[in-house]
Each structure stands twice: as structure tokens, then as C-alpha cells.
A and B are shown apart, each in its own frame.
Chain A
Amino acid sequence: MAQPSLQNTENPHTVEELENLAFELRSKLLHLCGTYEGAVHIGGDLSSADILTALFHHGLHVDPTDIANPTRDRFLLSKGHAAVCMYIAMSMRGFFSYDGIVDTYGQLDSAYGMHPCKVQLPGVEASTGSLGHGLPLAVGMALSARGRGESHRVVTLMGDGETGEGSVWEAAMAANSYELGNLVAFIDRNRQLMTSFDEERVFLEPYTDKWAAFGWNVVHIDGHDMGALVQAIDALPASDSRKPTVVVCETVKGKGVDFMERNLAWHAGSLGAADLDRAMAALQASREKESV
């Protein structure tokens, strides 16, 4: 089945361009984290930044000028606490104004808050935030698409921690039972919960085997390797195929800022002026190191 082409496929981004966009996304995240007084879930934002860049600038067939187009791909942020990362990724794709996000984030009557709200911000597909809710919603949207004979995909991004919620596995069974090949779940496998590292208290492993055992098509990649993300997206089975796909993305919480990486203290926080400079310098250094 041909995918509807809402995105500018004539001039697709190169992997290098996508990497630059991801760098810009991280810089903007840190900037917001430095200007907003309250806590930002910066650790899980940074671990999701490459995935969201790959989705909004390469994978998703969406049109920022026509947000209700019935043939658009649906994207649900199941890990709703990474909302700001999604808002900024979407602003870079043309959905929202970045200044609007930075100037109003978390303030009274702002559309941009800690967890996305469909009512206040119609450009997002669903109100999320409570963990384990995105996949059931995505199953419903995928069933709806199937029912109408539409060929778009429904894509969700979960954190690995939230897959401790039973509702995720209820929905995983439903997706398999209803053969929803139009459903794709990306998992930000940063291996950290809020207060501990995954395998310290909760054994998620053997992780990919669990998804395979639930009948899903499993793809396992480095979630910070833009080339791998692009390849995984390009290789997704057709939306009329019969198996849902999970893309387990190995990531690092706090990715790109050395003092935040794999540091439980940076699940959420805010940056003072000095820390912001330090974080920006670390991000720059990390980029130079990786481009060597």
C-alpha cells in the first residue's frame, strides 16, 4: 500500500542534517531548562531527542499546516513527561513557535505544560502523562484506521520504565490479537526509572524477548545512531501488514551532557545560569567527540 506523502519527500534530510537538527533540539531543551524556573524532565528529554528528531523530520507523514488531515500519521507521546522535547521537535517541524514555547512554558494559561494536553494544544494527538496509557490509545487509533481502510500509521513513544505498567501489556496483547501492522511503538530504553536503574530493582530483561513473545515484530537499535533510526523507520513493514512493530532504542538518559548522563539526579531539574553554560559546553564537546 502506498504511503500518503504529506512530508517533503523530494528533499529528505540526510542523516547528517538530522543529526544537526537533533543537536539544535538538545540546545533548545537546555536553553528552556535554563530559563524556566521549575523542573524539566531533562534526562528523559535528552534520551528521546534523536528518536523524536528522526520521527518528526523523517518518519512521520504529518503536515503542520493541516493538523486534522485524516491521512496523517498519528503520533502519541506515551512518555508524556518528555512533552517539552516533543513540543520543540514539533516547533522545528513547523507546528508551533519555539518562542511561544520558551516564553510561556508552564505558565498560567499556556498551552505548553509538563504533560501534553490535546484540549489546550490541538496539534498533539492525545492528552498523555500518566504512564502506560499511550499504547492502549494507539491501539484504538490503529483499529480506527483499519476500520476505515486508511493506510496511515499510528506511532507511539514509550519509556522503558513505563512498560512496567500492566496496561502496556494488555494493549500489547490486543495489538497482536487484532494484527495491527499499522501500529509502531518506539521505546526509549534508557534503563533508568526515576529513582533507580532498571535492573537494580525491576528486571525488564530479557526485554526484546518479552515483546517477541507477545507476538510483536522486534527491531533493536542504538537510539542515538541517527543512521540506524532512519534505517529502522525506512524498513518498517507496510501498514497493511499483520504484526505490530516495536523499535527498542537503546539510549542514555541525559544523553549529550556528560554530567547528566546516567545520573539519577537529572531525571528532572532546572539549570541555573552557570549550569546552563556548563551544559551547553558539554553538549558541544560531546558533539565534537562523536564527529571524530
Chain B
Amino acid sequence: MRKFAMAVTTALVMAGAGQVLAQGTVKIGAIYPLSGNAASAGQSSKAAIEMAVDIVNQDLLDLGDLAMAKGAGLTNMKGAKVEVVFADNQGTPAAGQSQALRLITEEKVAAIVGAYQSGITLTASAVAERYGIPFLTPESVATNLTERGFKWFFRATPITSDLAAAYIDFLKERRAAGKKIDSIAIVNENTEYGSSIAESLRKAFGANGFNVTMEIPYSANTSDVQPQVLQLKDKNPDLVIFVTYTSDAILYAKAMRSLNYRPTMMLADNAGFNDPAFVEQVGNLVEGVINRSAFAPGNPGTIPHRINEMFKAKTGRDLDDPSARAMMGMLVMCDAINRAGGTEPAKIQAALKATDLKVNQILTGYRGVKFDEKGQNILAFTLITQMHDGKYVPVWPAGQASAPVKDYVGWR
């Protein structure tokens, strides 16, 4: 009998404690591809977001001025803890949409971050807009996302036009260094992300004296890419640009080797070629490929270096660029909720609009975070990296480069 009474008491106390805890938590939804063709990238982003939550909830002293690092929990809300609710978008816009609906109506999240693929961010954020819930995308780059006149949509990452500008500045320097770049081929997957990048690049390149002579759109969910590689081999353009997701990036790397095709210069726009799974498995087949990244671990003692060490300790591998941007996006959202001092959507929205993070408060290579009236971060910026011995290192701009640019090698 006494045992029973004790059990009941314990249960009651625990239930009470649970309630106190529940009052002190803020739920944020995170929509990512946890299954489907981009699942490895999605799982990596998930780990990064979990780390962002740890940074917020714990009082970490060795992260300098990084946003939300100091103090445990949301300091303006009596130290309330952040709880992230993950939702799997399965790599399809329809699933992204229904998961956004579930997070808002059933999980009652205060805000949402996500959803990796631009095409899925498109549908998921439309649901958030309808319900008046703040939605921040840390990584989707398709230009039109911020051209929809949405009031609840924010984007921390650089967009396609920023990337195009960076590529052009970089390529101009290469040209000045004596490299011939007269013909350019763009090979892009044909959903929102790839099409948007391809279009921006074509326009921006054309306006800057670079000719896109070939465009090869294809479906990322494919079992074979050899014909595309043969089209390239046939015309042999001076520069080949790949805009892919992960599984197709692996197929391209393998097909280029098996068909013995080495472009003179090869550039890959992030996503697939930046997926840690890609770098780990077939990075040695594309030595010298040029890429973009908003994250470079830097030297010991810097915040990015420390963050990378923490991520390595958690997952066993280096922090990749999309995941770094996911982590940053989550911190931006937590910073806004903290300044809002509550979870009313309108307050969070106002706080997001007032966001003004300085360069020392962020872990990615942005020059800060500040949103314009469309919700776009006007201080977003990207570095240019290159695969050197199976690892991406920054090679541009000169001030942030840790190695000189070299020619494309491919496999050895």
C-alpha cells in the first residue's frame, strides 16, 4: 500500500513538473527531407538544427558573440527552452505542404523553418502564410520564393542572383588570369531549384559577356545520366555548371569517369555536390570542382572552427554548407522569438522584420542578417570553394581564401 501511495505521489509530482516544463517551452517546426532522395542532406540539416537548439538552450561561453549562445534558453522569456518538432517532407511538395499543416494545426508550433528543396519550401510556406505563422527558409535559393508578396516569409540565405553575381566576379578573375571561357553549359535538375538557378545564371551571364551555349535540364530522380555526359563530351564547352541534388550528382561523377570526360573547368552549384555523403563517397572523382559555400571552418579560435568541432563531435563529420545555413537560420528564428518575448505570431513577425545581426554574431560567411520588405536577407553572401584532395576549401574572395585556384583534375 505504501509503495502504491509513493508511486501515485511520484506520478503526480512528475505530471506537475511536466506541466511546468511545457509552459516553459517554445515549439518550432522544422521541415526537412528526412527520407527520399535528399535524405542524407536532410538528416545532416537535422543534426545541425538540433545543435542550434543546444546552443540556444545551454549557456555556452566559448562561442563569443554568436547569436543566442549566451544565457540558457530564451533569456527574455524567463529562460524558456526551445523544442524543435521535425517533419519529414519526403522530398515531395505535397508532403511538405501537409507537414506544414500538421505542424501548425496539431503541433501548434510558433514558427517554422525549412524545407531544403526550393520546390517544397514553395508549398510549405504557402500553408504558413495562410495561417499567419512565420516561416523562415535557411537554405532554399529559388528567386521567386521572396517575390510572392508573402507577409510571413523570411529567407536568410543568399539567393540565385547573389550567387550569380559571385560566380561572375570569380569567372572574370579567371578570365583575366588567362583562362578561356567562351562557351558555357548548364546542366540543371528541372524542379524549382535547378530551373531558377539556371535561369538566373543565363540572364546574369549574358549581361556580363559570358555565353551560355548549352542548357541541359533533366529530372533528378533518374537512373541514368550518361546521355547528358555524352552531350557535353560531344560539344566540349569551356565551362560546365552542374545544378543537382545528391543521387544525381553521384551518378554524374561516376558517369564522367566511366566515359572518360574531364571538362576544362567545372563548377557545381552547392546542393548535391556539397552533400557530405557525396564528398565522402565520390569526392575523389571530381578533384578541382568549383563550388559555392557560405561556410568555411576557418582557423582554430574562430567561432566557425569551434562550431565545426562541436558538429564533428556530434556526427563524426565536418559541418557542410547547407547544414551550416540551416543552423544559422534556426538561430535567427530563435533570436527573433527571444526579442518578441512571446509566441504570438504577429510579435515574432515584427521581431523578424527588426532582425539586425552583425557579422560577429553569425557562423556562416554572411555579412549579417537583415531582412528587406520582401523578407530577403540583404546581407547574405557566399564564398567560392574548390575540391582540394577530397575536401572543399575557400578560394575566393582573396581575403577569405585559404588556397589558390587550380585546374580541374577529376579522378587520378
A, B: real partners: no
